[in-house]
Amino acid sequence: MAIRIITMKCFLKITFSLYSYLSIVSAFSPHDQYLINCGSGDPATTDPYRRVFNGDSESGHLVSTRASRVFNANPSSSGLYRTARAFNRPLHYVFPIKDPGTHHLVRLHFYPFNSSYYSEAQFHVLANGFLLLHNFRITESENLPVIKEFVIPVDTEKLKITFVPLDNSKFAVVNAIEVISASRDLVADLAQYVDFEKNEQISGLLKNGFETVHRVNVGGFKVTPFNDSLWRTWVPDDKYLKSSDETEKIRFGGRINYQLGGASREVGPDNVYNTARVIRSSNGTIPNTNITWVFEVEKGYSYMIRMHFCDIASVATGMLYFNVYVNDNLAYENLDLSYITNRLLASPFYADFVVDEENSGVLTVSVGPSNMSLPRTVDSILNGIEILKINNSMGSFDGEVCTEFVLRSWRRGNVGVLVPLVAVIFLLLIASVFMQRRRNWFGDSVAWSRLPVDVSEVNLKYGNQLSSGAIEDEQAATESKEEEKHQRKKNHSNSS
Ligand SMILES: *[C@@H]1O[C@H](CO)[C@@H](O)[C@H](O)[C@H]1NC(C)=O
Ligand SMILES: *[C@@H]1O[C@H](CO)[C@@H](O)[C@H](O)[C@H]1NC(C)=O
Ligand SMILES: *[C@@H]1O[C@H](CO)[C@@H](O)[C@H](O)[C@H]1NC(C)=O
Ligand SMILES: *[C@@H]1O[C@H](CO)[C@@H](O)[C@H](O)[C@H]1NC(C)=O
Ligand SMILES: *[C@@H]1O[C@H](CO)[C@@H](O)[C@H](O)[C@H]1NC(C)=O
Ligand SMILES: *[C@@H]1O[C@H](CO)[C@@H](O)[C@H](O)[C@H]1NC(C)=O
């Protein structure tokens, strides 16, 4: 493994030195941005972060308003959550996409309006073939608002988000929707797969969607959407920390040196990189300890762990070496930040690791001193952590079910409403037996299959996963666009 890590570093060095000393100046503005205040006739509602949401009644995104009801039930809450739209049959919002071929952020906001919400709102949410939420309901113990965030690839010129009530006795409901095109460097195609016996590069992540499970600003304060160019929220790390003995929070007042090839401001904002937690030598000895964070996750999925690093603690370059572990497995040995950032301090970058949940319901992330750590310096650092659930092979984030099945079972479940009672019972019986079968069939046939394993040629071309920056992604995106065009042409000639 030592050998592989050394070769990886070489690629990394190459990519980075080509673009060093160029700093990123242009501010990000998304090609697609839809902020929708559901159930509202008000053309403009401002949220606490000064973003303007448009009412959905006149927006044209809602395909039909006829089968939906508007709830006007939270007079005390902020403008965005004062209204909601509820559906008693499947209905969708459609968003034209100017920037197909990239990942888009989809955020769904839920804010229950009264007690009947908790018993009667139960539904599924679908988006372009991904099952975002299945049998979703909000319980009275949850903190409000409940916001679900997904980053999904959108290859078509439309994004369709469908709300499907569980059955006739339930309704689907939503308070606000955000659809925002991500910067191209937000999702990288490569990552390092880590488990008990393997540590290898994998590719093909651009095909996947991700659900945000935890997003943490290590050693710092909560970062609100106001201070994040993709309007994300980052929470402090304290509640995830296993033990805070011998660790120290630090805060940096200087400028964060964003470099091309490293992390961009869209990957992580200044407020994430200018705080960290460190292990520091005391009395000339390297502490024999790790910093460990523990994250609860749902079993049965793969997760992407994105770690954000920025050396804001060292007084000079070449003094910080440490090990990185995920689930107690060595993920990166002797990480040398100044080497990676071409000897520039306070220069951020990130590393993506993919892991399979190992039936424990938790993922752990640790950093700790390595064999190369030096006394009288900082011996470990971490600035941010994101835990992202990867969709399963059915395109689902919420169970072994696919979107077609959800839509079909709605139709099947509600087909008998107008026919005589006997027929209704008969149909329902058949439907339920059939549904049961389908469910079993899906349940049995689906085993998690690993992401495709990368071949070495790709390594050479794309460099290291740690540098997953703009250059490589641009390339990948162009390729996939070409492919798509080709595919469209093919389809066209087939149909004519
Ligand atoms: C909840 O609010 C809705 C919409 O305002 C209303 O129709 C319903 O009767 C309310 N239910 C209860 C239990 O208050
Ligand atoms: C944004 O960040 C600045 C600088 O860290 C901070 O002072 C300010 O309170 C933040 N604003 C919001 C709305 O979070
Ligand atoms: C460091 O060394 C001094 C003097 O030898 C001692 O008093 C102090 O307790 C030591 N501190 C730690 C953290 O070991
Ligand atoms: C740090 O964590 C790794 C992985 O769990 C473990 O192998 C190592 O012994 C730990 N180091 C210390 C000092 O506890
Ligand atoms: C680091 O030290 C451990 C324990 O002495 C050893 O097993 C391991 O091979 C060392 N790693 C390197 C890269 O030297
Ligand atoms: C996630 O969904 C996409 C699109 O359906 C699929 O290509 C991909 O293989 C899925 N990911 C996994 C890990 O199964």
- Tell me what the mean pLDDT of segment 68-97 comes to: 85
Single pTM value for the model: 0.81
Question: At which of 140, 159, 182 does a domain end?
Answer: 182
pLDDT of 135 higher than 80: yes
Is 435 among the domain residues?
A: no
Cis peptide before 145 (omega within 30 of 0): yes
- Are 9 and 76 in a shared domain? no
Token pair belonging to 252: 């940096």
- Are 196 and 274 in a shared domain? yes
Q: Residue 358: what pLDDT? A: 76
Q: Taking CB atoms and a 6 Å cutoff, what residues make up the pocket around ligand 1?
A: 71, 73, 113-116
Strongest mean pLDDT among 78-82, 203-207, 414-418, 420-424: 203-207
Question: At which of 133, 150, 182 does a domain end?
Answer: 182
Give every CB contact of residue 452 below 8 A, 6+ residues apart in sequence. 202, 203, 204
Q: Residue 420: what pLDDT? A: 44
Is 397 among the domain residues?
A: no
CA distances from 122 to 39, 80, 117, 147, 413 (A): 18, 21, 9, 16, 15
Nearest residue (by CA) to ligand 3, atom 13, is 282
Is 239 among the domain residues?
A: yes
pLDDT of 120 higher than 70: yes
- Are 166 and 214 in a shared domain? no
pLDDT of 2 higher than 60: no
Probe residue for ligand 3, chosen from 248, 280, 283 as the CB with the greatest number of ligand atoms within 8 Å = 283
Question: At which of 152, 182, 212 does a domain end?
Answer: 182
Is 49 among the domain residues?
A: yes
Task: Count how many domains the chain has.
Answer: 2
- Are 80 and 92 in a shared domain? yes
Nearest residue (by CA) to ligand 4, atom 8, is 290
- Are 341 and 227 in a shared domain? yes
- Are 241 and 386 in a shared domain? yes
- Going from the Cα of 372 to the center of ligand 5, the distance in angstroms, rounded, reads 9
Q: What is the pLDDT of residues 334-378, one digit of tens each?
A: 999 999 999 999 999 999 999 998 789 999 999 999 999 999 899
Counting from 1 in the atom list of ligand 1, the atom nearest the Cα of 73 is 5
Is 288 among the domain residues?
A: yes
Strand 235-236 and strand 210-217: the pairing is: parallel
- Going from the Cα of 271 to the center of ligand 2, the distance in angstroms, rounded, reads 8
Probe residue for ligand 5, chosen from 330, 371, 372, 373 as the CB with the greatest number of ligand atoms within 8 Å = 371
- Are 111 and 207 in a shared domain? no
Q: Residue 431: what pLDDT? A: 63
pLDDT of 212 higher than 90: yes
- Are 282 and 328 in a shared domain? yes
Is 118 among the domain residues?
A: yes
Q: Is the CB of 2 under 6 A from ligand 5?
A: yes
Question: For residue 250, how far is the Cα from the chain centroid?
Answer: 26
- Are 207 and 343 in a shared domain? yes
* Residue 47: domain span: 33-182
Ligand number, closest to the Cα atom of 334? 5
Give the mean pLDDT of the chain: 82
Is 174 among the domain residues?
A: yes
- Going from the Cα of 148 to the center of ligand 2, the distance in angstroms, rounded, reads 23
- Are 224 and 281 in a shared domain? yes
- Are 191 and 160 in a shared domain? no
Q: Taking CB atoms and a 6 Å cutoff, what residues make up the pocket around ligand 3?
A: 282-283
Q: Residue 283: what pLDDT? A: 84
Nearest residue (by CA) to ligand 4, atom 4, is 328
pLDDT of 193 higher than 50: yes
Is 50 among the domain residues?
A: yes
Q: Distance between CA 387 and CA 240 in Å, rounded?
A: 12
Q: What is the pLDDT of residues 9-54, one digit of tens each?
A: 434 433 343 343 344 445 789 999 999 999 988 888 888 899 999 9
Counting from 1 in the atom list of ligand 4, the atom nearest the Cα of 364 is 5
Question: Which CATH number covers residue 213?
Answer: 2.60.120.430
Q: Residue 5: what pLDDT? A: 41
- Are 24 and 69 in a shared domain? no
Q: Residue 305: what pLDDT? A: 98
379 pLDDT tier (thresholds 50, 70, 90): very high
pLDDT of 478 higher than 90: no
